[in-house]
Amino acid sequence: MPCKTAFFSSPILQGITARFKTPVKCRMAVVVCIWLMVSLTPSGSVAQNKPMDAGSIVSLKSHVKEVAQVTRTISCDFSQEKEMDMIAEKVISSGKFYLKKEKMLRWEYLKPFSYIIVIRNDQISIRDENKVNQFNIQSNKIFLEINRIILGSIQGTLLADEQNFKADFFENPTSWVVKMKALTPKLKESLSEIVIYFDRKDYTVSRLEMNEPGGDRTRISFSAKIVNQPIADEKFVVR
């Protein structure tokens, strides 16, 4: 009879364990499999994050600040993946992102639904399908927070927000990784941690992860970045 324990409940391991008749042989087979998987994994296939030293942290902060200062516009594609491990479900969406200094942002979802958020100064306009809503950002705490976090991540200002986050700095061959743990109870309720990946080549944000207390996480990856090319103000108007 195949051995049955919670540990053996993954489909791959179930396939392996079903072939063995006794629990002892079964466990041995799993140990061998795990050892093989670990030893055969190419070292370069998983990016290892190692802690940054103090000098590198100062240098990163200064570079990010410098890049943010000279960045007047950004336009790029984004893909967003919401992972819900507990229910083994992913929601993938994608669209276009535009940023223009000082306070203009367009966050446009194209797939699998149409949804546009435009923030211009303190005014938010949302087009949800064909319906347009406009309100002041100060009146909507959720958007105020999302705006602060996303813009703060992209512009690097979040790194200096020691009141709300405790930052830990890591690096891997492709990115500088900043893990920001939420400190305030209100923030902790919706976000336990934000992880920002800065591209080592140009210090721009390549990925953003928002981890929720329940274990769900949203990963936003930015690609096809175009920096400091003119973007018409019209782009930040929703009709």
Partner 1 sequence: MKSLWSVSLVTLLFCGCVSIKPSHLTPYNEVMSDAPNVTQYKPPANSHLFKATLDIRKHHLTGLLIIKSMDTLIKTQALQQVTTLAPSKTGSGGTPGRYRFVFMNEVGMTFFDLEVKADSFKVVSCFSSLNKKALMKILETDFRMLTWTGSPESTRIYRQEKTNNIIVSGNAGKYKTWRTYSPPGDTLYSISAKSTIADPVIISFSKYTKGFPGNIIIENPFIGMKLSLRKLTR
Interface residues with partner 1 (CB under 8 A) are 80, 82, 84, 86-87, 89, 91-93, 107, 109, 112-113, 115, 117, 126, 128-129, 133, 142, 146, 150, 189-191, 210, 212-214, 216, 218, 220
Q: How far is the CB of 92 from partner 1 (least distance, A)?
A: 7
Q: Which is nearer to partner 1, 25 or 111 (CB)?
A: 111
Beta strands, E only, 55-122: 73-84, 89-100, 104-111, 115-120
* Nearer to partner 1 (CB atom), residue 60 or residue 104: 104
Region of 32 (left: φ > 0; alpha: ψ -120 to 50; beta: rest) is alpha
Q: Of 52 and 220, which has the nearer Cβ to partner 1?
A: 220
Measured from the CB of residue 192, what is the shortest distance to partner 1 in angstroms? 12
Closest approach, Cβ 29 to partner 1, in A, equals 25
The CB-of-90 to partner 1 minimum distance in angstroms stands at 9
| Residue whose CB is less far from partner 1, 86 or 224 | 86
Query: Can you say whether the dihedral through the CA atoms of 154, 148, 121, 235 is positive or negative?
Result: positive
The whole-angstrom separation of Cα 67 and Cα 53 is 21
Cβ–Cβ under 8 Å, residues 54 and 198: no
Reading phi first (left if > 0) and then psi (alpha if -120 to 50, else beta), residue 6 is in alpha
DSSP code, position 50: E
CB of 133 to partner 1, least distance (A): 7
* 212 in Cβ contact with 190 (< 8 Å): yes
By C-beta, is 36 or 92 nearer to partner 1? 92
Taking the alpha carbons at both ends of the chain, their separation in whole angstroms is 66
Under DSSP, the state recorded for 137 is G
